[in-house]
Amino acid sequence: MDIFLASGGSAALFALALWLARNLIITRLTKSVEAEYSKLMEAYKFDLRKLEESFKADLKTKETEIAALRNGTLSAISNRQLLLDQKRMTAAEEVWASVVSLGTFKFVSSWMSVIKFEEAAEAAKNDPKVRRLVEALDRQIDPEFIKKQLVPSTARPFVTPMLWAAYSAYSSVMMQAVMGAFVIKHGVGAKVISNEKSSEILKLVLPHQADYIDKFGVSCYHYLLEELEEKIIKEIHHTISGASTDDDGLQQAAAVIKKCNEIVTPVEKG
């Protein structure tokens, strides 16, 4: 029994020692792993903070670059728009100033609307009295003088096509009247000047007046001036506001301008 107890006690002590040793090893391993894990976590957190700071710095730099680019682009667009608006305003002012200047020739237009041009022009070829009828108009029947009242073509790109078309029609009527008086004054004959192109221009700009123009011809041109002025004012507002012209308006304006370019005055013929 003593031997049995002695051997059993040794086994129990040995088992206890093994259990303690195992617990000690497990505890040490756990603490070692925890320590290693803590080091790894600290290193990871450190790297993560560095990466975050680097990302924030890059983001701030890019935001600064984007802001500079945006501001520069917007500034360029704004300056370009401002310059364009200024040119539109200047061109519109030039057109209206020319309309006002051409308005001084309304007397000639009115005078020409009440005479039979073809008969007067043919009679003036041989009758000085007929030629003297227009001498009182003085320089208002000088084609070169009226040309100086016209808007230079450099203004054309900055106004709506319909404004340029309406202005071309208006100036065409005035030029037609002046050239008619010029023909009578110098007795060069009615064949030198043609009313056909002016008639086509007016009917393109004022299509609703086509029957009226066909019926009365050149004698009615003077009575369309006021309507043309209203159309010019309307298109000046469109030009200043930057409003675009629709496709039909563009085609209409293109047709008018083409007809205007086909007109050749006696002076230009030499």
Q: How far is CA 70 from CA 56, 62, 75, 85, in A?
A: 20, 12, 8, 22
- pLDDT given at position 247: 58
- pLDDT given at position 161: 86
Provide the 3-class DSSP secondary structure of residue 104.
helix
What gap in Å lies between CA 205 and CA 209, rounded to an integer?
9
Residue spans of the domains in the chain: they are 87-269
The pLDDT profile of the chain, 270 residues, written as one tens digit per residue, is: 454 445 555 666 666 666 666 767 777 767 776 677 677 777 777 777 777 777 777 777 777 766 666 665 555 556 677 788 888 889 999 999 999 999 888 888 888 888 887 888 788 788 888 777 777 666 667 777 888 888 888 888 888 888 998 998 999 888 888 888 888 887 776 665 666 777 888 888 899 999 999 998 888 999 999 999 999 999 998 888 876 555 555 666 666 666 666 554 443 433
- pLDDT given at position 16: 62
- Beta-carbon count within 10 A of 105 CB: 23
- pLDDT given at position 263: 52
- pLDDT given at position 192: 53
DSSP single-letter state for residue 83: H
Contacts of residue 152, Cβ cutoff 8 Å, sequence gap at least 6: 94
pTM: 0.62
What is the C-alpha radius of gyration for the chain, rounded to an integer number of angstroms?
47
Nearest by Cα to 140 from 186, 97, 113, 179? 179
